[in-house]
Structure 1
Amino acid sequence: MQDTMSANSATGSASSSSASSASSSANSGASLQSTFLQLLVTQLQNQDPTNPMDSSQMTSQLAEINTVTGISQLNTSLSSLSTQLNAGQTSQAALLINSSVLAPGNSITVASGKTNEFGVQLATAEDNVQVNVVNSSGQVVNTLNLGNQLAGTVPITWSPVDSSGNALPAGNYTITATGVLPTGAAGTATALTPGVVESVVQGANGAPSLVLSNGNTVPLTSVAAVL
């Protein structure tokens, strides 16, 4: 009887000491595993021989603590990999400085006698793809009919004229792209406008973004074409 009480007392003392140590240490997978193993060894040393621990529960607990440690190590590895990938993408983005690219946008500048390059990006094939050119007064001055197009980037080289073929005055214009899905529903055509890459900045989640001459800042992954 006294032996049993001594064993229970030792178990309680060891558990209290280990819990105190765990609360003062960092909550990392390694420290949790170390604390768990200390508690387990103490419990095995002081268990009642007539009522030993259930081996299946012990195995389950070991598996759980190993899973926690593995997840912690995986998160650290993924974080390191993400940092390396972002650094590589930033180096690639820097090579685009002073290059003209097509990226999502709606504003184009018309200069006398100069053709414009822009485009449309389609996630899926669409029918009756059109680009409307709107002046600063909100009037549609021309509509470019591109017909049926497959998914991807559709580049456009356009001489700035109105629907009657008259040259448009210099200034800023807005373009919007529309299309129809084969099902008859409205498409999701995206207008692409040109811009010269002026610099590279850190965007969301550390990924690089490009600062363009047209005033837009776009993620590197949104660049549809390099002109």
Structure 2
Amino acid sequence: MTTTTAPVTTTPPPTTTPSTSTSGGTTNTNTLAGLDSLTSNFTTFLTLLTTQLQNQDPTAPLDSNQFTQQLVQMTGVEQQLNTNSLLQQLVNNTSGGVSTAVSLIGKQVKATSDTANLTGGQAQWTYNLPAGVADLKVQVVDANGTIVNSVAPTDMGSGDHAFSWNGKNLAGSQLPDGGTYTLKVTATDSGGNTLATTNYQSGVVTGVTQSNGSTFLTINGSQVPWSNIVSINQVASTTTTPPTSSASGS
């Protein structure tokens, strides 16, 4: 006696495009959610398809055209989601990416950043202090978390303070260029409470790069995200007056 197992019915996912918004963040979220859902549905579909093939009646096999149609529908949704993702990336690159950031080359900018590269034996930061600082400690930390320099500035007034490190460690040895270092500012009030501080990179933009869909500006040899910029200024041009020469006639 032959045992026949009822075939499993599969329902392909609806061929609708995820809703989009004029906001880039919302569109990205919808696209990523759609791709995740598609991956899950496709895995489930393949599982059901395999189960159908294993349990179909040999005397009445299922129509292969149905499987092909479902695969085509699944592929169509995947291609639509990928197209939305590529279009969004193109919009980001055009509106707030490389094309816009290139215009900042040669301009003075200020951007939030705790890190800086040691270039030419120098690393520079600007830190901002709130009012009421009673004790201040500024440390330079390397990529391994080791403190390579530590100072206790006496100027603890509120506002921006420039800090330049000469690249020498606590032992007085000059460290090689190319390393990335972090500025750690610890400020407390008279009661010993920690106060919030902010570190910046200030300088002229010398280059623009893009990595993984994000745009970075080169400032003082360091890479700073485009989104971290807080101010942009035109570099003041310096004019030199040629020396005046006098000639005496006979």
Structure 2-normalised TM-score? 0.42
Q: As a proportion of its length, which structure holds more helix? A: 1
When Rg is computed on C-alpha atoms for both structures, the one with the higher figure is 1
Structure 1-normalised TM-score? 0.46
